[in-house]
Amino acid sequence: MALRRFFGFSDGELMRSDAKPCSRLTRQTAGIFTIGGGLAFWILCRLHYGPRITVPRTLRWAACGAVSVSSTSALLVRLFSSECMEVLHALLEKVRELEDEKDSCMARAEDLLNENDNYLTRVKQIQNEDVIHMKKIR
């Protein structure tokens, strides 16, 4: 964490001291399920290909299994673990704040578009008046 700040990367608004158990639990779960996923997919590869199995094919299946199972388990831990609830609530609050900001920006943009339409209408009226005036002069 200190190195992230030293090199100019932010810690993130959700990275607080009370969020560490969630990060540790997620990391430990992902580590355990990386090994389990690799072994499970290695077995599935052996069952699927039988005698046609090759080492690169086995390693590819094991790597895919390790990545998919570990990321899925880490996501499920982050979503359903009670230690991660504070992080999820803070994230939800941040999303709501951003939605409110978006709504206010959209309302301001609509106001600016309406003002622009009013200006364009007035410019067209002035141009029409000038054309009528020029015709009268001729």
Residue 122 lies in a domain: no
Q: What is the pLDDT of residue 4?
A: 52
Q: How far is CA 119 from CA 14, 34, 73, in A?
A: 45, 62, 57
**For the segment 94-133, what is each residue's pLDDT rounded down to a tens digit?**
889 999 899 889 989 998 999 888 898 888 888 888 888 7
Q: What is the pLDDT of residue 3?
A: 54
Residue 57 lies in a domain: yes
Q: What is the pLDDT of residue 136?
A: 79
Is residue 53 within 8 A of residue 46, CB to CB? The reply is: yes
Residue 93 lies in a domain: yes
Domain range holding 44?
2-97
**For the segment 4-33, what is each residue's pLDDT rounded down to a tens digit?**
555 555 555 445 555 566 777 888 888 899
How many domains would you assign to the chain?
Answer: 1
**For the segment 27-86, what is each residue's pLDDT rounded down to a tens digit?**
888 889 999 999 999 999 999 999 898 999 999 999 999 999 999 998 888 888 777 777
First to last CA, the chain: 79
Q: What is the pLDDT of residue 14?
A: 47
Residue 107 lies in a domain: no
In three-state secondary structure terms, 81 is: coil
Residue 49 lies in a domain: yes
- Determine if the pTM surpasses 0.75: no
Is residue 69 within 8 A of residue 34, CB to CB? The reply is: yes
Q: What is the pLDDT of residue 66?
A: 93
Residue 111 lies in a domain: no
